[in-house]
Structure 1
């Protein structure tokens, strides 16, 4: 007997993941395709957009092969962002996609656009100042630095919208993603800001705007032949992975904060009104009329993976040794800015620092310091959000990093926050499947039924003084080393490009 289900696929920084989910929220099949980004120069992070579709096709065929009696009723798409992938009039990419805030190449364009438009007007229209996270300066960078590609470019995509195009032929982008193509989106009017689109993005055609769970179109015959998904199945517009992850755990109500433990750490606070602060990102939400204050660390899982590689260890070893190291990592303090930093310092030229090293320290101490560094970064973001007016009352954890209890406990201890952990933490692909189910159901499902909270992580009050003191040192260490870090970053930009290769 056919099993009615939805497919959700998310294109992430280090992999694409897909799930096949039935009407009760049970996962029937999962598939993953690992990939690497390209770092052709220091500060550049790119990816071939064609890979997104190739992996989608491969994933959906694997999912459907695992469950031959699946009756697919809807398709959900999601992806990292904000990315800038430019395509020609047919949607064929004209160059690799420039990724989100970890790509810091557009510094000159950020400065020029800010000087021209002014901070007050930028924040009035778009909600945020321009940073490495903003899509607009990256569009201008392509126009100025890659004129051959620009001459062929006619359309703007992110991973979810590129998949929607290939599946349905619809050229759409969701409001949340559009709000991060700063400064080209009007946050209050919820539409493209025509004067600035014409000034900075023409002759690109502005994509039609929809909300994440809206139906973009239906699977075409050509897409059905490639993917195995039947022709005519509805496909949602989708959105950026962090927001789809928030949906997957029900963390999108006023007062909610989602912590996404992934290659980078992402935070999304849902607020009752538009909040503006130069330290964070003001965005539209996944659903009509909602607003977010968002932030992101440039490294988290990327930092722990780096330590695993350079020490030649595996995660179980490192976690066990970090547990033994204990709170404070035996006097080590790390700044996690190994790829610059996004919020709240907005410093692409920040660099990693490990302070307090002695000959007695080992890899477990380093790993513990890395976990604490990301936790200190989360605390810095949370405190900045609260200072801006965000009333954070509930924190939900999601993503691959939630599989390790130690990391969760360190974050709770450092921040003083209780974290809720739901039954399913695979994140954006599951959220995309849920959005698709809601789009096609007569009675949309509730995420609390699909994915209930099964664990809570409470901070240890005995560690409050320890981590209060460490947080103070964390702030002072950045202030005291920033000048030297910036000089080193400048030197790195003039070294051979292969310095930046993975």
Structure 2
């Protein structure tokens, strides 16, 4: 007897990770093609066919055993879940933006791109019809917002990359000591240090001759090339705190340039995006946020609640409990704008040039690889 047959599963991970179709179920030919036809046997009893949409209530709620372990009332509503990044997107992308002078205010929700940025970054774009975007995952129907198709771009280990660059620098011990003396995080100190050395220039202009390609761990989107490596051009024969601050700035800019690359690829395929909605750990860094606004040329909305994954989970719970009749209604009521960061138009030309260099870096890397792969 198959015990998995009656266990309900969330539509989100099945659609995004298991090739399940929200309107057609499992694809029998797929499982047979990859030699897992035993999954098809007995009406898919090994993987189950009971699928719930995120926010649907599960059974009779929290069991007495689970309630005791969690210190919650038995029977409290339990909702079908979302993948963590998708919950973050749900928690931030539907916020009511009236009165913030944003281009998306009088546009459909599909004009918004959610960027969930932490250890890695995920770029969630939605559309009423399926859009196939080269190098971008999806389209997935109802995988995040019910009734809409989802495309998911991503950058691997973005937060880890910044940490790697900073902590691997010779001046890191000095940075730690100075930040500790001020009772600041190392990133708050680095941001203030950049302000102290910029003189009359905008901070971003300090990297006019320092450029980074950020794919130290391969490219997830939009090139989908795991063989790519990181690149830095413009290093000097010094390793003081100024050098560390500049390399940190160039790395943050490179991540934002990668977001622009993903954004432009999505728009070329048919998305129309006018506003970014950022959440996650990296969105707590003002420099990271400002660089995303300046480099993409789009305003950035930050959620009132930084941990938007928790807001997304709460939205699902509120639907399961019956407090809201739909996920869309709960998104609009529970997602709150905390801050809006606008791009600085006077800096557009500089970042347009940085972006050209950014694309040249990967072009050159591929040329180097081709040369080295030539027959000797």
Return closer, same or farther for 1:308/1:486 CA change in 2, 3 Å cut-off: farther
Q: Which string of whole-angstrom CA distances, capped at 9 and with x for unpartnered residues, describes residues 395-434 of structure 1?
A: 2111122212111111111110111122112121221012
Q: RMSD between aligned alpha carbons?
A: 2.6
1:349 counterpart SS class: coil
Give the Å deviation of 1:456: 1.2
Asked if the contact 1:321/1:363 (under 8 Å) is kept, the reply is no
CA–CA distance in structure 1, aligned partners of residues 318 and 210 of structure 2: 47
> In structure 1, which of residues 273, 279, 295 is the aligned counterpart of residue 135 of structure 2?
279
2:302 counterpart SS class: strand
Q: TM-score if structure 1 supplies the norm length?
A: 0.59
Which stretch shifts more, 304-313 or 266-275? 304-313
CA–CA distance in structure 1, aligned partners of residues 331 and 317 of structure 2: 12
Return closer, same or farther for 1:170/1:365 CA change in 2, 3 Å cut-off: farther
2:114 counterpart SS class: strand
Asked if the contact 1:299/1:336 (under 8 Å) is kept, the reply is no
Give the Å deviation of 1:391: 1.5
Q: Which string of whole-angstrom CA distances, capped at 9 and with x for unpartnered residues, describes residues 452-485 of structure 1?
A: 2132111111111111111011111101113556
CA–CA distance in structure 2, aligned partners of residues 246 and 192 of structure 1: 26
Return closer, same or farther for 1:443/1:178 CA change in 2, 3 Å cut-off: closer
> In structure 1, which of residues 421, 425, 431 is the aligned counterpart of residue 312 of structure 2?
431
CA–CA distance in structure 1, aligned partners of residues 24 and 285 of structure 2: 39
Residue 236 of structure 1: aligned partner: 79
CA–CA distance in structure 2, aligned partners of residues 372 and 192 of structure 1: 42
> In structure 2, which of residues 252, 257, 263 is the aligned counterpart of residue 376 of structure 1?
257
Segments of structure 2 that go 5 or more residues without pairing to the other structure are: 40-45, 96-108, 177-185
Asked if the contact 2:8/2:51 (under 8 Å) is kept, the reply is yes
Return closer, same or farther for 1:393/1:462 CA change in 2, 3 Å cut-off: closer
> In structure 1, which of residues 269, 289, 292 is the aligned counterpart of residue 147 of structure 2?
289
Asked if the contact 1:376/1:414 (under 8 Å) is kept, the reply is yes
1:265 correspondence with 2:121: yes
1:171 correspondence with 2:55: no
Q: TM-score if structure 2 supplies the norm length?
A: 0.78
CA–CA distance in structure 2, aligned partners of residues 318 and 482 of structure 1: 33
Q: Which string of whole-angstrom CA distances, capped at 9 and with x for unpartnered residues, describes residues 184-236 of structure 1?
A: 3236x342212213443444522432211112333233323433333322211
> In structure 2, which of residues 213, 238, 254 is the aligned counterpart of residue 335 of structure 1?
213
Which runs of structure 2 are paired with 1:33-432 in the superposition (5 Å)? 171-181=7-17, 184-186=19-21, 189-200=23-34, 201-204=36-39, 205-207=46-48, 208-217=50-59, 218-251=61-94, 253-282=109-138, 283-284=140-141, 285-311=143-169, 312=172, 313=176, 314-323=186-195, 324=197, 326-328=203-205, 329-360=207-238, 362-432=243-313
Segments of structure 1 that go 5 or more residues without pairing to the other structure are: 1-88, 91-154, 156-168, 489-502
Q: Which has more radius of gyration?
A: 2
Structure ranking higher on relative contact order (CA contacts 8 Å, 6+ apart) = 2
- Higher helix content, 1 or 2: 2
Give the Å deviation of 1:258: 0.5
